[in-house]
Amino acid sequence: MPSASDASDSSPEPHPLIVAIDGPAGAGKSTVAAHLARRFGLLNLETGAMYRALALKAVEQGTPVDDAAAVTTLTETTRIVLEPGNNGNRVLLDGRDVTALLRDPAVTAAASRVSVHPKVRHWMVTAQRAMGQAAPSGVVMEGRDIGTVVFPNATVKIFLDASVEARGGRRFLQTAGSAVAEDRVAITREIAARDDRDRSREASPLHPADDAIRIDTTSMSLDEVLACATEFVQAAVSRAGKYA
Ligand code: DC
């Protein structure tokens, strides 16, 4: 597995490029990941969608999302497949396309709650590593623990952040008019609650890896954020010049 520190390695073996993007809800991870995937020809994997799919199954089956043993048992009979496309990931839950159901506010809240259970995280991380390693041309993977746990040796680690007000405002504009639209105050409150849970859980809480590049997007335009992220990845590619 390559890392930024492999740059002086003279090995002729091409390494797949692994770009890890972490950060809190609404920081723009999906937009940045999709852009980098197109720009560098990488597979784009949205790990949050996997937590959402498991949460959906728990909600549908009446499994209590705070019951670690029950949710862990649920994983034993669950198969989640991500199919990356131009407009994000298509998500298959036990063979059923559930993509359209995953942004429902009830599923969003449940996803944050199933993600606190260590055995559930272990199951997810194992699957995510396998998916990343199976991508011969490299991968951009976004989530909360990609640079810290899933791929600690990722080539480039980007941690995107922004104030909770900025993130709430962006989510509001993204969802306005859609089936899952909520008002700005409710969205911002929901994001703050998720932040709190994601950052304070015991198992791999959300925090930047020591070697992550942090981008605070609060007062940046989307174009500026994309240019900045692209520059970091391009620098890593040029430095190493040996990715597959
Ligand atoms: O990125 P997202 O909003 O789709 O993620 C939904 C939830 O899943 C989020 O509140 C926390 C959890 N999650 C996680 O714990 N680890 C990841 N790598 C991705 C998401």
CATH number, position 134? 3.40.50.300
Which residues line the pocket of ligand 1, CB cutoff 6 A? 25, 47-49, 51-52, 111-112, 115, 143-145, 194, 198
Task: For residue 92, give both structure tokens.
Answer: 């298959």
CA distance 78 to 84: 19
* pLDDT, tens only, 143-173: 999 999 999 999 999 999 999 999 999 888 8
* pLDDT, tens only, 191-233: 999 888 889 988 888 999 999 999 999 999 999 999 999 999 9
Angle between the 47-61 and 118-133 helix axes, to the nearest 10 degrees?
130
Please give the average per-residue pLDDT across 115-127, as a whole number.
97
Greater confidence (177 vs 81) lies with 81
CA distance 90 to 65: 23
CA distance 53 to 46: 11
Range of the domain at 52: 18-231
* Distance from residue 206's CA to the centre of ligand 1 (Å): 9
Q: What is the DSSP string of 37-64?
A: HHHHT-EEEEHHHHHHHHHHHHHHHT--
Average pLDDT, the chain: 89
Q: How many domains does the chain have?
A: 1
* Distance from residue 190's CA to the centre of ligand 1 (Å): 14
pTM of model > 0.85: yes
CA distance 242 to 222: 30
* Distance from residue 187's CA to the centre of ligand 1 (Å): 16
